[in-house]
Structure 1
Amino acid sequence: MSIPLLGLLLSLLGLGTISAEDCLARDYGNNGTVCVCNADQCDTIARVQTLSEGSYLLYTSNMAGLRFQIDNGTFSELSTTSENRIIIDQDDSYQEILGWGGAFTDATGININSLSSGAKEKLMRSYFSEDGLEYSLCRVPIGGTDFSTHGYTYVDETEPDVELTTFALTDEDYQLKIPLIREAFNLTDNNLRLFASAWTAPKWMKLNGAYSGLLGFLKSAMYQPWANYFLKFLEAYDSENIPFWGITTGNEPSLGFFPIEIPSVAWTFTQMRIWIRTNLGPTLRNSPYSNITIMALDDQRIFLPWYIDGLFLNSDVRNYIDGIATHWYWDDIIPPSMLTTTHDTYPEKFLLATEACVGDGDDISVVLGSWSRGEQYVFSIIEYVNHWTTGWLDWNMALDETGGPTYINNNVDSPIIVNASADEFYKQPMYYGIGHFSKFVPRGSVKISCSQFASDVPTTAFKRPDGGVVVVILNQRDEEVPVVIADATRGEVNLNLSARSFTSVLYW
């Protein structure tokens, strides 16, 4: 059914009007398509309207080229004979969802700013507005990352400045981050939460005297100045009227144990336990930002739960830490059961997936239209939320056609790729993959019980704050798959999932 016709039908049924601008598809020969956006055109998806009881909406994106195609229908009576049943139990609930989003890296800002004002506006709306993906949780680097044009911190003096008297935000903050963050707040009606992560300390604070590299530990005498550095950052952004919901203890402490060029600070769990207990925890909790959410680890799930066990040997540290942040890069060597084990051991601490991307280490970093990369996103999100994780964040929100800029040549892919010379950008299947969650599962939704019938058709489900239910299904098969969604409170829905597709089903 076409979107205009569906909008008319739903309006006549009193189900609300749905309108959207269509995708301008382009095929680069990579087993999938992108949607092309420019200053004059960009596909949209309207905010969901509540339906009458007994009706449902079906949103489909697939390898064949559909993007958030909308269909609708009604529930029928429950049966017991159908195969491929997905059983929903609204009374069996789990974790509350904190949000979905990406990171305001320097590279993201450079690429968004390279567009004309019209195209730039459409890109920002694509992520944050009510006719876009409605991102609700984003990460902000404290200083530079590998996706900057050079290494830097906020106190890059040649001589140690232990009192941080020269601490100052940089041009990157004022040109590439702060203006876009402000626009994102406006587009979300301030319904956006931010958390901050630091990649590296100033060179003079570190034993190896470098932003990155082997044995990049912090000098013990710098423990308090490093904690003060975090506080200075919060104060500096507060002066720009940008508040933070959370902060992590630092990006990927494991990197500093290896000769890797990504900026980092190395921490054993013993060292970090001392720093949190003695410095970071007291510094933040005794500051004007005492209520800020503090997340530990911010690294791969291979460190679960033993690294957290080491941190929480001290009860004060356990009390200071609110949540545990994880990345996805080594997920193929560690099972998701470690997430559940960590939750079961520390049920009062939430789990949040804070970084993911594809293309790192691949021969070709950016693959325009790759459906399989979109499937990787959806599979990962389903796996994480089915193991107690409260949200999932992408890495760079916009990169160029080479997967940069990155000053260490660590090029990767992104849900949106910018072609500045043509003043256009491309929405990858990854964009729609995360959108099947961020668009329909708002903050405050709760994960509910959802049965599985096949490993290559993984499924998850949520109950929204407005009482609606969202079921998200990934069909990795090359053929159509018939399924039945069964909910004892509503009945059942018979669907045919198109080949290689993402499907979101909503009902109230």
Structure 2
Amino acid sequence: MTRQVLRLVAIGAAVAVGLTGFTEAQAAESVSARVWVTTVDGAELMHERAPVAFGRPVSGNPNPTVTVDPSREYQTMDGFGASITDSSAAVLYRLSPAEREKAMRALFDPATGDGVSFLRQPIGSSDFTAASSHYSLDDVPPGQKDWTLSKFSIARDQQQILPLLRRAKQLNPQLKIMATPWSPPAWMKTNDSLVAGSLIDDPKIYAAYAAYLTRFVLAYAAAGVPVDYVTVQNEPQNGGANGYPTTAMRVAQEAKVIEILGPLLRIFSPRTKIIGYDHNWQTHPNDVVNVPPGQDPETDYPYQLLRSPAGKWLAGTAYHCYYGDPSAQTALHDAFPAKGIWFTECSGSHGAADPPAQFFRDTLKWHARTIAIGTTRNWAKSAVNWNIALDSTGGPHLGGCDTCTGLITVQPDGTFTTNAEYYTIGHLSRFVKPGAVRIASTSFGTTGWNGQIMDVAFRNPDGSTALVVHNENDDPRTFTVAAGGRTFDYTLPGGSLATFTWPRNRVLDDGLRLLPLRGATATSLPASADAKLAVDEDASTRWSAGQAQEPGQYLQVDLGGSQRFRRVAIDSGGSIGDYARSWELAVSDDGTSWRVVASGQGTGQLTNVDVKARARYLRVTNTGTSGSWWSLADLRLYA
């Protein structure tokens, strides 16, 4: 009887194991991506569509393929959001308590709202203040000094800003706070005013200002809002008299303050890191004009700051959107790869005659390609807009921008509405969690607009993947998403923004690792200086033969040293139809003696060639004929 029972138990266990294995296999086979879409006409606003299933790749795929590869990691993400300015707090407090709570949940709740996870808070007033005059946290009558900071107070913040910050942190405990002053207290400045002027060049002033910033950090922590990051000055190259607090602070001055502030924070608030610069991608011409004659305009401000003795105290650098483009972030990262980059301010703005529908459309498209995707593909650990909330007039404000918009608008009837920025931030903050890592994905669009599919991908701490995709074109575009050995096709309406998410699944891991091509060089026939664009790890650029396809055209790559690889991806990207009609792949150890390792017919934009090879050189040769040009956006190697 005992043996029979044991036998039955063993059989049952075996059956259970078999069923379990079957279930897991079935689950792997049926993995799907969830999809949320926002369209330019507002018909879909973060609308969840039907999920789309991954399947086996289809031969002859005519679409550009977004290849998502978690084996290549970039920056770790801190979060996405905006600023609860004095003005934002004031308009939120115009709402009834119930409506204000509804707005806060719409903004910060990760389960039902945008899940905003990063706020950049002004220290004192900015151009967006509801007060009748500008203020710092240590104001004294003109001509007086307050060396002991006896007048320091955050009493004004205690009224509305801090209660909102505490509620935001309750709704999203992962929320990070960055703090930035628009001006030091007036008594520390050359013109004794919060508007324009510069910091007095005096060691005592530098020490007093560092103490002021430290006092702010400690006061906020005591009020239940710990500060994760602080910068010394908002837009230090903007010293103009624009009716709101500004301060021209040259590199040497900012560095001197940081060299005092760094040790103070290490002692009193070690969690709080210092970020430098906090200004545009490129120095604005107006800021250059305002530099006194004979002085260096410091157009390389962040480079000088990071090279200075203050650099050791800096976690990295922050950027704004108002001049230049996000590629400046990658250039700085390449020069200082150990330092982080944060994107910390951009505002949607509109003209007086802009129709609301057109404004929504234009803002969604520009912010989608430039901020949501452009900044994050260029190493930003955050993507942060300006005001989180304003009223229907774009205020209140005191000087500065009179055409800015917030993530939400508080309406005269006591309700609030959502703006395009609510969705461009939400397509990130809802799905990309703090601690997520950006991973490799092929993207064909540019921040300058080229009408292609543009994207950025992340691996969340729980192993799930989030892919944010924008169709730059005004017409619908179909593309393919590839993860591991599986793919799906999707069509997005013109101008729309979408987020795709899928869980970690073993079937989407093909075991291959993307190899870096840094240092690789390329030549081509027909000869072209653009050959390098096929190996620049940027699918928005391309090499093209520039003529109809004919046998003998080739792209040759020198890897700079012998490498072992298992796959070569030959990707014609967004240049639809410009794939080689037939091809041959050869490798060489010396660039002279070649051996053919694969050949085949081209049937679509992306051809994956699985080989087992070790070589320094490889050459892809076109062996077919076509009236179409032959273009290569990306040549990728995998091990």
- What letter matches 1:67 in structure 2? L
Q: For residues 139-186 of structure 1, give each alpha carbon's deviation from its aligned partner in whole angstroms, at most 9, with x where no partner exists.
A: 111111110122001111112111111111132x01220110111111
Larger relative contact order (Cα-Cα within 8 Å, sequence gap ≥ 6): 1
Given candidates 391, 405, 415, the residue that maps to 2:407 is: 415
Q: Return the alpha-carbon distance in structure 1 between the equivalents of residues 368 and 217 of structure 2.
A: 33
* Partner Cα separation in structure 1 for residue 192 and residue 355 of structure 2: 33
Indicate if the aligned counterparts of 2:318 and 2:342 stay in contact, CA closer than 8 A: yes
After TM superposition, give the deviation of residue 225 of structure 1 in Å. 0.6
Amino acid of the structure 2 residue aligned with 1:77: R
Identity %, equivalent residues: 27
Counterpart AA for 1:357: S
User: Equivalent of 2:198, from 190, 193, 216?
Assistant: 216
Q: Compute the displacement of 1:115 (Å).
A: 0.6
Structure 1 gap segments, 5+ residues each: 1-13, 15-49
The code of the aligned residue for 2:310 comes to V
User: Where does 1:163-242 land on structure 2 (aligned, <5 Å)?
Assistant: 163-171=148-156, 173-188=157-172, 190-213=173-196, 215-220=197-202, 221-242=204-225
Distance verdict in 2 for CA 1:406–1:93, change over 3 Å: same
Aligned partner letter, 1:72: P
TM-score (norm 1): 0.84
Amino acid at match of 2:424: G
Higher strand share: 2
Whether the 8 Å contact between 1:273 and 1:310 is mirrored in structure 2 is no
Query: Contact between 1:366 and 1:413, CA under 8 Å: does it hold in 2?
Result: no
Please show how residues 96-175 of structure 1 align to structure 2 within 5 Å.
96-129=76-109, 130-148=111-129, 149=131, 150-158=133-141, 159-171=144-156, 173-175=157-159
Structural mapping, 1:330-349, within 5 Å: 330=323, 334-349=324-339
| Structure 2 residue ranges without an equivalent (≥5) | 1-22, 284-297, 504-639
2: CA distance between counterparts of 1:363 and 1:210?
31
What is the rounded CA distance, in whole Å, between the counterparts of 2:368 and 2:116 in structure 1? 16
C-alpha spacing 1:243/1:269, structure 2 compared with 1 (3 Å): same
Equivalent pair of 1:339/1:388 in contact (CA under 8 Å): yes
How big is the shift at 1:364? 5.6
Q: For residues 272 and 80 of structure 1, what CA distance do their matches in structure 2 show?
A: 58
Q: Does 1:63 align with 2:40?
A: yes
| Cα separation, partners in 2 of 1:137 and 1:337, compared to 1, 3 Å | same
The match for 1:11 is none
1:247 and 1:106 mapped to 2: Cα distance? 18
Cα 1:436/1:163, change in 2 over 3 Å: same
Task: Please give the per-residue CA displacement for 1:388-411, whole angstroms capped at 9, x wherever unaligned.
Answer: 111101111000111010111522
Matched, 1:401 2:366: no
Equivalent of residue 352 in structure 1, options 342, 347, 351: 342
Q: CA deviation at 1:102?
A: 0.9
Aligned to 1:33: none
TM-score (normalizing by structure 2): 0.67
Q: Separation in 1 of the partners of 2:256 and 2:444?
A: 46
Change (3 A) 1:465 1:51: farther
Contact (CA 8 Å) 1:481, 1:496: kept in 2 or not? Answer: yes
> Which residue of 2 is the match for residue 500 of structure 1?
495
1:329 aligned to which of 304, 307, 322: 322
Cα distance in 2, alignment partners of residues 51 and 227 from structure 1: 56
Give 1:414 deviation, angstroms: 1.5
Q: How many residues align?
A: 447
Is the 1:210–1:216 Cα contact (8 Å) retained in structure 2?
no
What is the CA distance between 1:337 and its match in structure 2? 2.6
| Partner SS, residue 473 of structure 1 | strand
- SS of 1:255's equivalent in the other structure is coil
Structure having the higher Rg: 2
Query: Counterpart of 1:167 in 2: which secondary structure?
Result: coil
SS in 2 for 1:372: helix
> Residue 312 of structure 2 is aligned with which of 307, 319, 324?
319
Deviation at 1:90, TM superposition (A): 1.6
Q: CA deviation at 1:73?
A: 2.2
| Offset, 1:418 | 0.6
Shift of 1:484: 0.6
Q: CA deviation at 1:209?
A: 1.6
